[in-house]
Amino acid sequence: MEWLSTLIKVLVEKVFGLNTQERLGGSIHFFIYDVIKIFILLTLLIFAISYIQSFFPQKEREKY
């Protein structure tokens, strides 16, 4: 995901005006990059699990 890291670096440097080599700019770059990366990975996992679950029949709930 080098393209995402580069995109976030440009965002932090151009929009926020921070240097990513410094502590604050590097921290913001790390935070934004990881939030997006985790969101993408969770989305893929949820999609894969839902797809796998679609092959198993859902049990009917018992009436009490």
Query: What pTM does this model have?
Result: 0.75
Residue 54 confidence (pLDDT)? 86
| 25, 14 Cβ separation under 8 angstroms | no
Residue 1 confidence (pLDDT)? 83
Residue 55 confidence (pLDDT)? 85
Residue 64 confidence (pLDDT)? 56
> In this structure, what token pair is assigned to residue 8?
């976030």
Tokens 């969770």 correspond to 42
Residue 41 confidence (pLDDT)? 96
Distance (Å, whole) CA 14 – CA 8: 10
pLDDT along the chain (64 residues), means of 10: 93 94 96 96 96 81 56
